[in-house]
Amino acid sequence: MNLRTETVSTVLFGLGFNVVVPIIPDQAPQHVREGLARQRLLLLTGQCPCGVRLTGPNRAQRRQMARDEHRGIGVWEVTPSHFAGCPATHPDITGETP
Ligand SMILES: [Zn+2]
Q: Which domain holds residue 54?
A: 5-93
CA distance 36 to 20: 12
65 Cα–ligand 1 center, Å: 26
- Let me know if residue 98 belongs to a domain: no
49 Cα–ligand 1 center, Å: 6
66 Cα–ligand 1 center, Å: 29
- Let me know if residue 21 belongs to a domain: yes
Among 18, 19, 15, CA closest to 61 = 15
pLDDT of residue 97 exceeding 80, the answer is no
48 Cα–ligand 1 center, Å: 5
pLDDT in tens, 53-86: 998 888 888 888 888 877 767 777 788 889 999 9
Total domains, the chain: 1
What three-state secondary structure class fits 48?
coil
67 Cα–ligand 1 center, Å: 32
Note the pLDDT of residue 98: 60
pLDDT in tens, 38-49: 999 999 999 999
- Let me know if residue 27 belongs to a domain: yes
